[in-house]
A and B are shown apart, each in its own frame.
Chain A
Amino acid sequence: MIGLTHYLVISALIFSIGLMGVLRRRNLLMLFFATEVMLNAVNIAFAAISHYYNDLTGQMFAFFIIAIAASEVAVGLGILIVLYKKHGSLDLDDLANMKG
């Protein structure tokens, strides 16, 4: 039977995948996806724990995360669009005007 542990392991795995994506990806869009993956991993964890405790708070948290992730994407994409207009690229390595 699939228990809490399985969910938590899955959640941890997906979180790590998301994290690796954030660390390794060079395209900003992919980076955003990776962060979404991470947040969704958290959602899995919350839902599972919520079920385990038979407590709705976790699911509430998950809903809030979904909402925030959505607005994050909205704002993020907006910024990306103006950036793309200015730079013509979404490659991370092109984005190093400021350093030192």
Chain B
Amino acid sequence: METLVYIALFAPFASSLFAALFGMSPKQTFVGIVASLLLFASFCASAMLAFHVWTTGAGIHVTMMDWISAGDLHIPFGFVVDQVSVTMMTVVTLVSTVVHVYSIGYMDHDKSFNRFFSYLSAFVFSMMILVMSDNFAGLFIGWEGVGVCSWLLIGFWYHKEDVSREENPSISPSWAANEAFIMNRIADLGMLIGLFILYWNVGSLQYDVVFAALPDLSGSVLNAAAIALFIGAMGKSAQFPLHTWLTDAMEGPTPVSALIHAATMVTAGVFLVIRANPLFSMTPEVSYFIAALGTFVAFFAASMALVNRDLKRIIAFSTLSQLGYMFAAAGLGAYWIALFHLAAHAFFKALLFLGAGNVMHAMHDELDIFKMGGLKKAMKWTYIYMGVASLALAGIPPFAGFFSKDAIIETAFNEGTLFLWVILVVTAGMTAFYSFRQVFLTFEGDERYKAFGIHPHEMYKYVLIAMSPLAILAVIAGFAQGTFEHFVTKLLPDYHMSEHTHHLSMMLGLIVLAFAVGGIVLAYRKYYKGLKRDKKLENSFTYKLLANQYYIPNLYEAIITKPYAMLSEMMWKDVDMKIVDATVDGIAKFLYKSGDASRKMQTGNLSNYLNWMAVGSVFLLVIAVISAMFV
């Protein structure tokens, strides 16, 4: 079994190195193929491990070698394959494999084809470390690793120029990449602090040791650790207020968005909360905060998606919103439901992004849905895929999203947090609306693209085939809910609805469904026939507020970026040069000047010299007299 663990882990690494070998040479299709095969191998290994864990019910724990040991700190490279990590592994490798294959087609014309695969596989490797590690430090390796890969991939088209925020809200790929990296770093600091808290109170960073020692720790320590770790999670999962990077990250190639910024990396934060559930379940206040924040983000992101015109950004907002759902679940203690939604979401959201990628490919990288419409003729399969994914996202039975999201909303009700429940329900309606607004504007109605001289065409066959597993899973995954619960609750705390909720579950489901259907209907009525622009609405304050993401990016620029640059400039020019350095030079200058001043006594005139001698003797006499008086 250890071999399988290592295969699952290192096959992506091998793939990355292999692609890197050709990183600077022109496109070589076999690089993509080899990479995909290696990823598939990793997926197979993960699946077999999953089966193993499923059958035996026991995890596998391997320790490869020591990493850091200093003082009393010992961090090994250790990996654990248990119910939670194996779920993540399977999801990650599955989506990755699909995305790899997809990329062979999508990146067809890109001159940096090989480099792309190198980065992409490196990302998968980092993600595998993240989910498989048996300690917090190892998790942090993966955590930072995915951050870097995300930086590389968002900035993949680094040669693009910076433009104004009005022209492109993300300014440029390289700008977006840096923003993502730096914002994540802010959260990583929190995560590091969390690690430190745990280490100094427990003496280890191994999960099992830490979790076993938690009951002995004081409440304040637990709270501090939980808050710090959650700050880390907020960065990676783009929770408010560290959310702006996620939409800007859409500057990366679409497969990247599908893999990293929808299915896997952004869910790392949720994974962390699930992983550290013993800690979070002992800190109810923090958990409640997580749930509240998640709920808020779910609503907040959905509201911005309502009016956005950018195909990928809409999906990005929906990702954000769904992450909020997951946090809500995790915060309310329904860890397995969060994990379930995570997996289901990975499938349909990746599918949605890949579909969007097809559209982009067809539309020559045009992303404005107002410029599309009626694409269903040219792109039947893509329409189907995206439709399925959107239905899943909107939570229409029997698609996957229905089961997972419904469970979350039900949890909110079950916990008695009715306020959260209401918001989540409303958000579900909004989700359905913007999903279908996007689908209808893209595929139905008048063919607005013609005005721009674009001739769309369907994606390559093999790409469409490669996408099919996701589509299938998006449809059927929901039915595995029971099995899944049974599987993961061997490790995670089980969560059951109370009797009361159970009774009401049908009705609650219906309410949610009503909102979802309502959303779809609304979207149908407004957009199915084509785009009818409402100037009055578009000029209203609310619309502008939403379209500009509540002006948060502008706010950040005004209160953080610009002042920081100004302050830095001031520190350099005014403080460092004019105070610190000037003081040093001032001392030197003072000495030099006093040299100039005192050399004046050296007049060259003998008479003055003799006078100096006399002055000197008088000076000595004066000292003599003074000290004689005191003696």
Residue B605 CB within 8 A of the other chain: yes
B295-314 toward A: CB 8 Å interface, digit per residue (1/0)? 00000000000000000000
**Are A23 and B604 touching (Cβ within 8 A)?**
no
Chain A positions within 8 Å of B627 at CB level: none
Chain A proximity of B609: nearest CB distance (Å) = 10
**Are B614 and A23 touching (Cβ within 8 A)?**
yes
Interface stretch (choices A4-12, A51-59, A91-99): A91-99
B607's partner among A93, A97, A98 (CB-CB below 8 A) is A93
Residue A22 CB within 8 A of the other chain: yes
**Are A100 and B599 touching (Cβ within 8 A)?**
yes
Chain A positions within 8 Å of B603 at CB level: 96, 99
Residue A26 CB within 8 A of the other chain: yes
Residue B610 CB within 8 A of the other chain: yes
Chain B proximity of A27: nearest CB distance (Å) = 11
Chain A positions 22-47 with a Cβ under 8 Å from a chain B Cβ: 22-23, 26
Chain A positions within 8 Å of B599 at CB level: 100
Chain A positions 56-100 with a Cβ under 8 Å from a chain B Cβ: 92-93, 95-100
Residue A19 CB within 8 A of the other chain: yes
Chain A positions within 8 Å of B607 at CB level: 23, 26, 92-93
**Are A98 and B604 touching (Cβ within 8 A)?**
yes
Instruction: Output the nearest chain B residue to A34 by Cβ-Cβ distance.
Output: B610
Instruction: Output the nearest chain A residue to B603 by Cβ-Cβ distance.
Output: A99
**Are A99 and B606 touching (Cβ within 8 A)?**
no
**Are A100 and B614 touching (Cβ within 8 A)?**
no
**Are A19 and B614 touching (Cβ within 8 A)?**
yes
Chain A, interface size category, equals 10 to 19
**Are B614 and A96 touching (Cβ within 8 A)?**
no
**Are B602 and A100 touching (Cβ within 8 A)?**
yes
A97's partner among B604, B610, B611 (CB-CB below 8 A) is B604
Instruction: Output the nearest chain A residue to B600 by Cβ-Cβ distance.
Output: A100
Chain B positions within 8 Å of A96 at CB level: 603-606
Chain B positions within 8 Å of A19 at CB level: 614
B611's partner among A23, A26, A95 (CB-CB below 8 A) is A23
A86 to B387, CA, bound (A): 113
Chain B, interface size category, equals 10 to 19
Chain A proximity of B618: nearest CB distance (Å) = 11
Instruction: Output the nearest chain B residue to A98 by Cβ-Cβ distance.
Output: B604
Chain B positions within 8 Å of A97 at CB level: 604
A95's partner among B602, B605, B610 (CB-CB below 8 A) is B605
Chain A positions within 8 Å of B602 at CB level: 99-100
**Are B614 and A95 touching (Cβ within 8 A)?**
no
Chain B positions within 8 Å of A23 at CB level: 607, 610-611, 614
Counting chain A CB atoms within 10 Å of each CB, the highest count among B599, B602, B606 belongs to B606
Chain A proximity of B14: nearest CB distance (Å) = 77
Chain A positions within 8 Å of B606 at CB level: 92, 95-96
A28 to B610, CA, bound (A): 12
A95 to B77, CA, bound (A): 86
Chain B positions within 8 Å of A100 at CB level: 599, 602, 604
A100 to B605, CA, bound (A): 11
Chain B positions within 8 Å of A95 at CB level: 604-606
A23 to B605, CA, bound (A): 12
A93 to B607, CA, bound (A): 8
Chain B positions within 8 Å of A98 at CB level: 604
Counting chain A CB atoms within 10 Å of each CB, the highest count among B602, B603, B605, B611 belongs to B605
A23 to B615, CA, bound (A): 10
A100 to B599, CA, bound (A): 5
Chain B positions within 8 Å of A22 at CB level: 610
**Are B610 and A93 touching (Cβ within 8 A)?**
no
B591-631 toward A: CB 8 Å interface, digit per residue (1/0)? 00000000100111111001100100000000000000000
Chain A positions within 8 Å of B604 at CB level: 95-100
Chain B proximity of A30: nearest CB distance (Å) = 11
A95 to B607, CA, bound (A): 10
A50 to B603, CA, bound (A): 42
**Are B605 and A93 touching (Cβ within 8 A)?**
yes
A46 to B606, CA, bound (A): 30
A97 to B606, CA, bound (A): 11
B366-404 toward A: CB 8 Å interface, digit per residue (1/0)? 000000000000000000000000000000000000000
Instruction: Output the nearest chain B residue to A22 by Cβ-Cβ distance.
Output: B610
Chain A positions within 8 Å of B610 at CB level: 22-23
A96 to B609, CA, bound (A): 11
A26 to B607, CA, bound (A): 7
Instruction: Output the nearest chain A residue to B607 by Cβ-Cβ distance.
Output: A92
Chain A proximity of B34: nearest CB distance (Å) = 81
**Are A92 and B605 touching (Cβ within 8 A)?**
yes
A19 to B614, CA, bound (A): 8
Chain B positions within 8 Å of A26 at CB level: 607
Chain B proximity of A55: nearest CB distance (Å) = 27
Chain A positions 11-25 with a Cβ under 8 Å from a chain B Cβ: 19, 22-23
Instruction: Output the nearest chain A residue to B611 by Cβ-Cβ distance.
Output: A23
Chain B proximity of A43: nearest CB distance (Å) = 21
A98 to B603, CA, bound (A): 8
Chain A proximity of B593: nearest CB distance (Å) = 15
A75 to B607, CA, bound (A): 20
Chain B proximity of A80: nearest CB distance (Å) = 13
Chain B proximity of A40: nearest CB distance (Å) = 19
Chain B proximity of A42: nearest CB distance (Å) = 15
A19 to B618, CA, bound (A): 12
Chain A proximity of B259: nearest CB distance (Å) = 78
Instruction: Output the nearest chain B residue to A95 by Cβ-Cβ distance.
Output: B606
Instruction: Output the nearest chain A residue to B596 by Cβ-Cβ distance.
Output: A100
A100 to B606, CA, bound (A): 13
Instruction: Output the nearest chain B residue to A96 by Cβ-Cβ distance.
Output: B604
A11 to B92, CA, bound (A): 111
A9 to B75, CA, bound (A): 93
The 5 closest A-B pairs by CB, nearest first: A99-B604, A96-B604, A96-B605, A92-B607, A92-B606
A sample of 5 inter-chain contacts (CB < 8 A) reads A19-B614, A93-B607, A95-B605, A96-B603, A100-B599
Q: Other than the known A92-B605, A93-B605, A93-B607, what 15 A-B pairs have Cβ atoms closer than 8 Å? A: A22-B610, A23-B610, A26-B607, A95-B604, A95-B606, A96-B603, A96-B604, A96-B605, A96-B606, A97-B604, A99-B602, A99-B603, A99-B604, A99-B605, A100-B599
